[in-house]
Structure 1
Amino acid sequence: MGSIIQLAVSLVGVFVLARFGYQFRRMYLRSQVTTIPSIFFLFGTPLRFFVPNIPLINPINRTHWAVRFERYRQIQSSVFKTETPSKEHSSIWLADKMAIKTVSTNRKSWAKPIQLYKVLDLFGKNLVTTEGPEWKAHRRIVGPSFSEGVYKRVWDTSLVALEQMFQTEGLADLKPGEEIQIEDVTHVTMRLALVVIAREAFSFDMEYESKRDTNAKSLAGDHTMSAADALAVVSQSTLVKVLCPNWMYKIPNIPYVSERLAKIKDAFTNLDNYMLEMMADRRASSLAGEEVRSDLFDSLWRAADDNLDKQVDGETKWSFSDREVVGNTFIFLLAGHETNGHTMSFVFVMLALHPEKQVELLEHILTVLPRGRQPIYEDFQKLTHTMAVLYETLRLFPAVAVIPKVSTEDTTLKYQDIGGDNGIKTIFVPKGTDVTIDTPALHTNPLYWKDPLSFKPERFLEDYEKDAFIPFSAGPRACVGRRFAEVSNMVFLSLVVRDYEVVAIPRPGETEEAMRDRLVRAKPVLTLTPCGAVDLMFKRRA
């Protein structure tokens, strides 16, 4: 019996070794086909993002964003291949604007691998998780919901939320020259972003200092938490919901975990019911001729009703269900809350670490918004330097570090060579090849950006390489909420810097260099996220 087991184990071992040998040989032969450099590793996505950087084993993991263009510089190419034994095709990484523009705009040859995004169908299909004619239907309905009227309301709502923040955090009580330390700026900016999203997407009466929602009682249904409470929990727990399988929610009596998962499940259920009830309630009010609250959610369901059974792509018809209205509203919450909150945290860090840039920004703001004057929406276009600071921060800290694509047919890609005469080269790309748009590397490619690792907002006050700047993605699938984010961030940034100096203070025993390294540390989660508490001082200006 023992000899039979030994024989079986030996045969399995021989098979595994033979299989690995075949895969390694196939991988090596693939690497010889094209002229672009190859990087080899054992682990495929997503496993490699949880394994440390190990040369020849796992040279690319979740910390790759901090390396930015350095890997490309070392191999002297803005395009490279990654080879994994288990994959049939090479994967290609891009930090070249020409190749990225092709991949982003040529929808015939390139598609979004939506199977990677299906986990975000938590409330229903949406603009992020669809492709082809279905995506076009979503885009046609969702796009008009972002209008000039929406942006004006976002501006006013942002002013209210910021004033509430000043009161709650004690900034409003400071006299000139007095200062206060905020222990976690990211928590503050995330809360600000959530309040704006809650009010403008859902008309939830959320306030910065309170999670109470006065709108909850007017909605039908048997709820266990307010709409604002449910929204707050969902906004903080999407990653947990995505990663935890359904059976985990059924395991009782795991200390802390069971209670936490139960709260998350309860929040998602409540928010889902609230949105469906709101839609039914607003339809009924509209039919009765009553006034309906105007917000993004209202625009979506009206657009969906108006587009029922309209043709898309000739004969293809696509209706927009209530579930898809809810799904798209959730995606706006997820994208708007995370990206806005984290981006503003990074902005304040960069201004604190570069006081000379903060002074330049202040001087510009005062020409548009003298102290004591409340900003109006028409000031938005005048705040050019404020926008430049936002863009420069997004260049160095893009919310989404990588954008995946896949080739739908045999095709080619042109790119600019950086290792020779900077000429244009062409590579063949087989059907089914995974391609990664490397945003941090593109944003620091010295072909397009002078002194690319330095914080220089003034570069956006001049002509710049627009195809090399994609913080909101690129092509037809670029973020539809870009202006929404820019408007709210303009309010926050302009008024905070006008009235307060943002200062970085080393912790006890911490050197200036260590403080800088700590404050700019980040990690890709759902979006690029500051690591740890971001503590900054806010000093009232004279």
Structure 2
Amino acid sequence: MKSKTSFSDEIRCLRAIPELTTLHSKFPKPTYMYKILLMYGPNIIASEGHIWKKHRKIAAPTFSEASLTILRKYRNNKLVWDETIRIVSDMMDSWGPQSSEILINNCVQDITLPVALMVISAAAFGRRVSWAEESMVAPNHVISFRTSLYTMASNMMLRLITPRWLGFFSRKVRFVHQCSEELESYMLEMIEERRLSLAKGEEYADLFSSLLQGSEAEEGDERLSDKDLIGNIFVFLLAGYETTAHTLGFALGLLALHKDVQEKLYEQISSVVPKDTIPVYEQIHALPLVQATIYETLRLIPIAPAIPKVAAEDLTLPTMRPNGSIERIPVPKGTIININIQALHKNPRYWPDPERFDPSRFLSEYTKEAFMPFSSGSRGCLGRRFSEVEAVAVLTMILSKYRVDLKNPEEYELEGLTMAEKREKVLKPRIILTITPCKLPLIFTKRL
């Protein structure tokens, strides 16, 4: 038997991807790579087989538009939109009415991560937090929910690799472990509180309540345990918080680099959202270029650059050679196969002039199978629509009021560089758990 091999250089064409994303029993997820996500309990992302099916049966209707009534779908998406607009409005108010120019030294840390955290807190957990509000510590707790949530979302790797006793020697390790315990306690309390409320017939539109209702509707072993619920809540938090925040950070940086695209967005937004008014959810379908900008950002910089699979048996996969012929590659059992999302998204066969930042390519027909920022098939990202609505709301709100520019663009020395080189120099994307922007200083200038 051959040793394990990576076919990441091969899996960048569309021929193999349908088999990899639909034949789950033959190409399961290598769950050992996702152990970090089991910190709070079993969940839909870090599972396979029957356990995954059990979790998906309950979790999928929470997000799936197809499984929701028109009214429920509208309520869920509108909640995400309204909370996002409220939070971004709070942020702008904190800048002050007289400030015509705002310097943000770290766009991700100071804007997109806090916004994403507050949206998740409100729309997913039903806990509203305002931008200026000081974190309130609940009874029987020593750390606030907001601080616990932010600390764990930002320090998950540190929590995983450090034993608790190390906290005797490191204040930060001690605090991270304390936040981990506090967050688990908050989530357990939320489960009990929401169970009591639902038993009284009270209705909630947040995702946490939908997940709990889905579980309560099942019987016996098909229900999710409290540990399962907490595990899923946490991965929904992580997936919805960091990935959306990083995408928005990259999008704002790209728009600062591409002034022509930014102005086209402003023209569309101002034609839909009257001056001095707040964007409403009902306007989202009249803003296709904003959605296209999010997609183009994800095409150029997919937050998850690769999707791993493992061959459950000796198999073959089709691939297209440069001359257009199809050949099947032998894949021995145990082989780790990476679907190279970055290569797929820049394959000129599907994306003409692939290094160009051009959101308009998503306004006409494109090869949908060649666009996989949310994965694909039944293992695709359940929170995709949540993230899309939030991202469109953030860009619409900011760009309707402000122009976005790089701080001191001359310091980047961009003259003579290709657009790909400019992106690399300004955004400096790096991989931690996902692809992350660097510290990105931006200037927001109020539009008159």
- Looking at structure 2, the residues matched to 508 and 279 of structure 1 have their Cα atoms a distance apart, in angstroms, of 52
Match of 2:430 among 523, 529, 532: 523
Q: Contact 1:408–1:431 at 8 Å: present in 2 too? A: yes
TM-aligned CA distance change 1:510 to 1:438, over 3 Å = closer
Match of 1:200 in 2: 123
Per the alignment, residue 286 of structure 1 pairs with: 198
Identity %: 35
- 1:270 pairs, out of 167, 182, 196, with 182
Q: CA deviation at 1:456?
A: 0.7
Match of 1:92 in 2: 7
Residue from 24, 29, 35 that aligns with 1:118: 35
The aligned residue for residue 407 of structure 2 is 505
**Structure 2 residues without counterparts, runs of 5 or longer:** none
Residue 138 of structure 1 aligns to a residue in which SS? Answer: helix
Whether 2:373 is the aligned partner of 1:471: answer: yes
Change (3 A) 1:509 1:384: closer
Kindly state the Cα deviation for residue 150 of structure 1 after the two structures are TM-superposed: 1.6
Q: CA deviation at 1:143?
A: 1.3
Q: Which amino acid aligns with 2:115?
A: L
Residue equivalent to 2:222: 318
| Partner AA of 1:152 in structure 2 | K
Q: Secondary structure at the match of 2:308?
A: strand
Partner of 2:387: 485
Letter in 2 for 1:208: W
Distance across 2 between alignment mates of 1:251 and 1:357? 50
Alpha-carbon RMSD across the aligned residues, in angstroms, is 1.9
Equivalent position SS for 1:442: helix
Correspondence list, 1:129-528, <5 A: 129-146=46-63, 148=73, 149-170=75-96, 172-174=97-99, 178-187=100-109, 188-213=111-136, 216-217=138-139, 222-242=140-160, 244-246=161-163, 249-251=164-166, 254=169, 258-287=170-199, 289=200, 291=202, 293-309=204-220, 318-418=222-322, 421-506=323-408, 509-513=411-415, 517-528=424-435
CA contact (8 A) 2:254 2:423 kept: no
TM-score (norm 1): 0.76
Q: CA deviation at 1:210?
A: 3.1
The one-letter amino acid of 1:230's match is: S
Cα separation, 2, equivalents of 1:182 and 1:486: 24
In the alignment, residue 100 of structure 1 is paired with which amino acid? I
- The secondary structure found in structure 2 opposite 1:117 is helix
What corresponds to 1:43 in structure 2? none
SS at match of 1:539: strand
The answer to whether the aligner puts 1:535 opposite 2:446 as a matched pair is no
- 2:318–2:328: 8 Å Cα contact kept in structure 1? yes
1:206–1:213 CA contact under 8 A, matched in 2 = no
CA distance in 1, matches of 2:124, 2:283: 23
Q: What are the Cα deviations for residues 484-526 of structure 1, in whole angstroms up to 9, with x where unaligned?
A: 0000111110121122111113267542358754322111111
Moved more, 516-525 or 431-440: 516-525
Deviations 1:100-159 (A, max 9, x none): 222111113110011111221111111101111211111110111125122110111001
d(CA) in 2 for partners of 1:306, 1:474: 28
Closer, same or farther in 2 for the Cα pair 1:122/1:173, shift >3 Å? farther
Q: In 1, distance between residues paired with 2:119 and 2:300? A: 25
Which letter does structure 1 place at the counterpart of 2:253?
V
Q: What is the rounded CA distance, in whole Å, between the counterparts of 2:414 and 2:5 in structure 1? A: 43
Please give the alpha-carbon distance, in whole angstroms, between the structure 2 residues aligned to 1:439 and 1:268.
32
Q: Distance in 2 between matches of 1:493 and 1:476?
A: 29
Please give the alpha-carbon distance, in whole angstroms, between the structure 2 residues aligned to 1:394 and 1:509.
Answer: 26
Could you list the per-position Cα deviations for residues 223-278 of structure 1 after superposition, in whole angstroms to 9, with x for gaps in the alignment? 21121221121121112123x142xx313553xxx100111111110110111112
Compare relative contact order (CA 8 Å, sep 6+) and give the higher one, 1 or 2.
2
Structure 1 regions of 5+ residues with no counterpart? 1-25, 31-87, 310-316
Q: Distance in 2 between matches of 1:482 and 1:173?
A: 37
Give SS of 1:180's match: strand
More divergent stretch after superposition (260-269 vs 426-435): 426-435
Please give the alpha-carbon distance, in whole angstroms, between the structure 2 residues aligned to 1:509 and 1:374: 36
Q: Which has the larger radius of gyration?
A: 1
Contact 2:303 2:434 (C-alpha < 8 Å) held by counterparts: yes
**Equivalent pairs, count:** 431
- What SS does the aligned partner of 1:451 have? coil
Moved more, 325-334 or 362-371: 362-371
Deviation at 1:173, TM superposition (A): 3.4
Q: CA 1:346/1:223 → structure 2, altered by over 3 Å: closer, same or farther?
A: same
Opposite residue 240 of structure 1, the aligned amino acid is L
- Cα deviation, 1:422-479, whole Å, max 9, x if unaligned, reads 2222112122111001111110011111000110111101111111100001111000
| TM-score (norm. length: structure 2) | 0.92
